[in-house]
C-alpha cells in the first residue's frame, strides 16, 4: 500500500502547484489542519476498515468537522449559523458523516491540550444532542434571538456588518478607482490577461442573462480560503452597479471536483449534470437558507459554484477556547442540532432515508459506542500520519 506521503501527493497531483504548496504549508501547522486537508485519507481508511454499524442513508456535507460551521447572510438577507461546506457532499450512511465529525472533536480538542477522556465526553455530548433532535423529527435552525454564547455573538456581529464594510476590507483605492486588495495571502493576481478577459466576459454575461443585475466586473483575482480545497481554481470578482446609487458586489467562483467521500461508496448516486450541480443541490437541501446568488455554472468546460462572497472570519476558532468547557459544550450542542436538522430537512430526497427512519435511528443509541471508539482510535492515526507528513514536509518532499 502507498505511504501516507504518496497518497497525499497522488490525491493533489491534479491541482495548481503553487497554490497546492500553500495547502501543504497549512497542513504542516498541526494535526487538526492536517485532518482538514486530508478528507480523502479519512474516507479511504474508513472504507477499508468496515468498522461502523449500519445506519440510514442521509445527504452528507461530506466534510463535517468543527470549522465547517459558520455564520453568514442568506439570500433573504437574514443571518444564520449553519453547515457551510458541501464540496465533498454525497448520499452516504449517517454513521460516516458522524464519525468524521467525532474524529474532528478528538483531533481538535486534543490539539488544544484537552485530555482524551474529556474529549470523549464532548463527543458523546455531541451524539446525544444530535440524537435528541433527530428523534423528534423536526428540523430547526439557529438565529440571533435564540442563539446563546459565542454563536449568538457571531450572529449579532454578522447582522451588524454592512456590505460596504466587507467591500472596504477587501479593496483599495488606486488613483481614485477602486480595486481588489491583492495581499498575496487571501488574494493573488491571476497573471493571465487572456484568462482575466474571459472570466470577466463570462461573469458579466451571467449577471445579465441569468439574474438581470445591472452590475459589471471591474476587477478579479485568485482567491485563497479554507484548507482542503487549496490548489483548486477559485476566483473573486469585484462588481460595480452600472446605474443609480454607487454599489459594489463581491462574487466567489470555485471549481467543483468529485467528492472524495463518494469515491469510497458503492451507493448509487443521482445522475448530476455536473459536480457543481451536486454541491449546490445538496447545499440547498441541507441548509435552512442558502447564501445569495448560489448557482452552478459551466466555464471553460469545467463546473464551478458561484455565490455572493461570505466573510471568512465568522467560524468558531477553537484555539481561543482553551479550558472554556462550558462554551465548547454549548457550541457542540448547536452543531449537533444543525447536523440533525440538515439531515431531517433533506430526508426523503433522491434516495435518502425518510424522517421516520431518522427518528428511529435517533431513538436507538446502541450504535454510539462503535462510532466513538473508531473516532478515538482514528484520531491517534491522524496524529501518526501527521508526524510522517511533517517529517516529509520538513525534508522538502512537498516543495517550498
| 131 within some domain | yes
The whole-chain average pLDDT of the chain stands at 91
Q: Do 327 and 321 form a contact (C-beta atoms < 8 A)? A: yes
Q: Based on the domain organization, do 181 and 296 belong to the same domain?
A: yes
> What pLDDT was estimated at residue 319?
63
Q: Based on the domain organization, do 186 and 302 belong to the same domain?
A: yes
Long-range contacts of 108-117 (CB under 8 A, 24+ apart): 108/32, 108/35, 108/65, 108/66, 108/318, 109/318, 109/328, 110/31, 110/379, 110/383, 111/30, 111/31, 111/32, 112/318, 112/319, 112/321, 112/322, 113/322, 116/376
Q: Based on the domain organization, do 80 and 177 belong to the same domain?
A: no
- Among 287, 266, 288, which Cα is nearest to 90's? 266
> What pLDDT was estimated at residue 309?
85
Whether the predicted pLDDT of 400 surpasses 70: no
- Over the stretch 299-332, which tens digit does the pLDDT of each residue have? 999 999 999 987 655 666 666 666 677 788 888 9
Q: Based on the domain organization, do 80 and 221 belong to the same domain?
A: no
| 210 within some domain | yes
> What pLDDT was estimated at residue 376?
97
d(CA 251, CA 227): 20
| 57 within some domain | yes
Q: Based on the domain organization, do 185 and 141 belong to the same domain?
A: no
> What pLDDT was estimated at residue 337?
95
- β-pairing, 295-299 with 248-255? unpaired
Q: What is the mean pLDDT of residues 89-104?
A: 98
Q: Tell me the residue range of the domain where 246 lies.
A: 163-258+265-308
| 356 within some domain | yes
How many independent structural domains does the chain possess?
A: 2
> What pLDDT was estimated at residue 320?
63
Q: Based on the domain organization, do 169 and 156 belong to the same domain?
A: no
d(CA 105, CA 127): 11
Q: Based on the domain organization, do 40 and 105 belong to the same domain?
A: yes
pLDDT band at 93; cut points 50, 70, 90: very high
Higher pLDDT, 113 or 118: 118
Higher pLDDT, 167 or 162: 167
Q: Based on the domain organization, do 378 and 293 belong to the same domain?
A: no
- Ranking 182-186, 207-211, 342-346, 352-356 by mean pLDDT, the lowest is 207-211
Q: Do 253 and 304 form a contact (C-beta atoms < 8 A)? A: yes
Q: Based on the domain organization, do 115 and 66 belong to the same domain?
A: yes
| 25 within some domain | yes
> What pLDDT was estimated at residue 245?
81
Q: Based on the domain organization, do 33 and 140 belong to the same domain?
A: yes
Q: Based on the domain organization, do 107 and 189 belong to the same domain?
A: no
| 400 within some domain | no
CA 223 to centroid of chain Cα atoms: 15
| 399 within some domain | no
Q: Based on the domain organization, do 82 and 175 belong to the same domain?
A: no
In this structure, is the dihedral angle defined by the CA atoms of residues 182, 184, 185 and 187, taken in order, positive or negative? positive
Give percent of the chain with pLDDT exceeding 90. 71
- Among 249, 88, 71, 277, which Cα is nearest to 164's? 249
- Over the stretch 129-161, which tens digit does the pLDDT of each residue have? 999 999 999 999 887 777 777 777 767 766 666
d(CA 148, CA 145): 9
Choose one of 245, 273, 308: the last residue of a domain.
308
> What pLDDT was estimated at residue 162?
67
- The most confident of 47-51, 107-111, 234-238, by mean pLDDT: 234-238
Strand partners, 209: none
- Among 101, 120, 11, which Cα is nearest to 60's? 101
> What pLDDT was estimated at residue 312?
53
- Over the stretch 366-387, which tens digit does the pLDDT of each residue have? 999 999 999 999 999 999 999 9
> What pLDDT was estimated at residue 314?
60
Tell if the pTM clears 0.85, that is, is over it.
Answer: yes
> What pLDDT was estimated at residue 174?
82
Count of alpha carbons within 13 angstroms of residue 351, beta-carbon side:
13
Amino acid at each position: 500500500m502507498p505511504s501516507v506521503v504518496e497518497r497525499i501527493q497522488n490525491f493533489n497531483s491534479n491541482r495548481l502547484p503553487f497554490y497546492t504548496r500553500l495547502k501543504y504549508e497549512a497542513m504542516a501547522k498541526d494535526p487538526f489542519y492536517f485532518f482538514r486537508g486530508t478528507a480523502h485519507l479519512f474516507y479511504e481508511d474508513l472504507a477499508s476498515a468496515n468498522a461502523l454499524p449500519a445506519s440510514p442513508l442521509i445527504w452528507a456535507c461530506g466534510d463535517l468537522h468543527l470549522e465547517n460551521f459558520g455564520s453568514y447572510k442568506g439570500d433573504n438577507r437574514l443571518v444564520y449559523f449553519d453547515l457551510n461546506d458541501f464540496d465533498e457532499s454525497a448520499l452516504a450512511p449517517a454513521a460516516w458523516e458522524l464519525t468524521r465529525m467525532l474524529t474532528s472533536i478528538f483531533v481538535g480538542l486534543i490539539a488544544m491540550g484537552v485530555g482524551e477522556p474529556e474529549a470523549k465526553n464532548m463527543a458523546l455530548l455531541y451524539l446525544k444532542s444530535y440524537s435528541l433532535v433527530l428523534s423528534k423529527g423536526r428540523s430547526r435552525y439557529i438565529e440571533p434571538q435564540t442563539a446563546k454564547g459565542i454563536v449568538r455573538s457571531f450572529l449579532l456581529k454578522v447582522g451588524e456588518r454592512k456590505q460596504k464594510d466587507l467591500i472596504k476590507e477587501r479593496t483599495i483605492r488606486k488613483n481614485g478607482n477602486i480595486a481588489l486588495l491583492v495581499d498575496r495571502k487571501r488574494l493573488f493576481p491571476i497573471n493571465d490577461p487572456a484568462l482575466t478577459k474571459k472570466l470577466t466576459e463570462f461573469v458579466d454575461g451571467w449577471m445579465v442573462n441569468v439574474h438581470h443585475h445591472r452590475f459589471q466586473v471591474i476587477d478579479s483575482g485568485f482567491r485563497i480560503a479554507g484548507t482542503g480545497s487549496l490548489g483548486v481554481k477559485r476566483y473573486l470578482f469585484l462588481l460595480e452597479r452600472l446605474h443609480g446609487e454607487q454599489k459594489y458586489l463581491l462574487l466567489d467562483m470555485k471549481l467543483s471536483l468529485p467528492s472524495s467521500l463518494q469515491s469510497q461508496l458503492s451507493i448509487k448516486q443521482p445522475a448530476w449534470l455536473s459536480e457543481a450541480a451536486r454541491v449546490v443541490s445538496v447545499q440547498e437541501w441541507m441548509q435552512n437558507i442558502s447564501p445569495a446568488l448560489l448557482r452552478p455554472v459551466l466555464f471553460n468546460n469545467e463546473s464551478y459554484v458561484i455565490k455572493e462572497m461570505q466573510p471568512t472570519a465568522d467560524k468558531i476558532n477553537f484555539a481561543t477556547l482553551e479550558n472554556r468547557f462550558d462554551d465548547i459544550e454549548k457550541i457542540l450542542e448547536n452543531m449537533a442540532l444543525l447536523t440533525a436538522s440538515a439531515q431531517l430537512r433533506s430526508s426523503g430526497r433522491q434516495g435518502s432515508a425518510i424522517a421516520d427512519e431518522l427518528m428511529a435511528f435517533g431513538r436507538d443509541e446502541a450504535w454510539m459506542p462503535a462510532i466513538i471508539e473508531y473516532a478515538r482510535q482514528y484520531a491517534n492515526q491522524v496524529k501518526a500520519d501527521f508526524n510522517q507528513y511533517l517529517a516529509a514536509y520538513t525534508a522538502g518532499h512537498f516543495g517550498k
